[in-house]
Amino acid sequence: MISKDQKTKIIKGFQSHQEDTGSVGVQVAVLTSRIHELTEHLKVHSKDFSTRRGLLRLVGRRRRLLTYLKKSEYQSYADLIQKLNLRK
């Protein structure tokens, strides 16, 4: 799991205003961090199928959020993709 300090740092880096903790950009950034963490775990523990299932759910959630952002605010979608180094 991501520590509270790491999560706070990610939120501060992607929030659009002072009180923003749940916008699409922040959610995608937090999910991306968790996805990277679980990916590293699965490189070591390749037979951990429950973690693999959780990872696939997180990837799906991130994909749905990115699709929504792409349809509603394309410029912020493009900025977020570039900032997170995602391939889309």
- The reported pLDDT for the residue numbered 1 is 83
Does 9 reside within a domain?
A: no
Does 73 reside within a domain?
A: yes
Does 34 reside within a domain?
A: yes
- Rounded Cα gap, residues 84 and 35, in angstroms: 12
Contacts of 36 (CB under 8 A, 6+ apart): none
Number of domains in the chain: 1
- The reported pLDDT for the residue numbered 51 is 97
- Rounded Cα gap, residues 71 and 40, in angstroms: 31
Does 42 reside within a domain?
A: yes
- The reported pLDDT for the residue numbered 81 is 96
Domain of residue 51 covers: 22-84
pLDDT in tens, the chain (88 residues): 889 999 999 999 999 899 998 999 999 999 999 999 999 999 999 999 999 999 999 999 999 999 999 999 999 999 999 999 997 5
Q: What dihedral do alpha carbons 12, 17, 20, 24 form, nearest 10°? A: -90
CATH number where 54 lies:
1.10.287.10
Q: How far is CA 62 from CA 18, 27, 52, 82, in A?
A: 23, 8, 15, 15
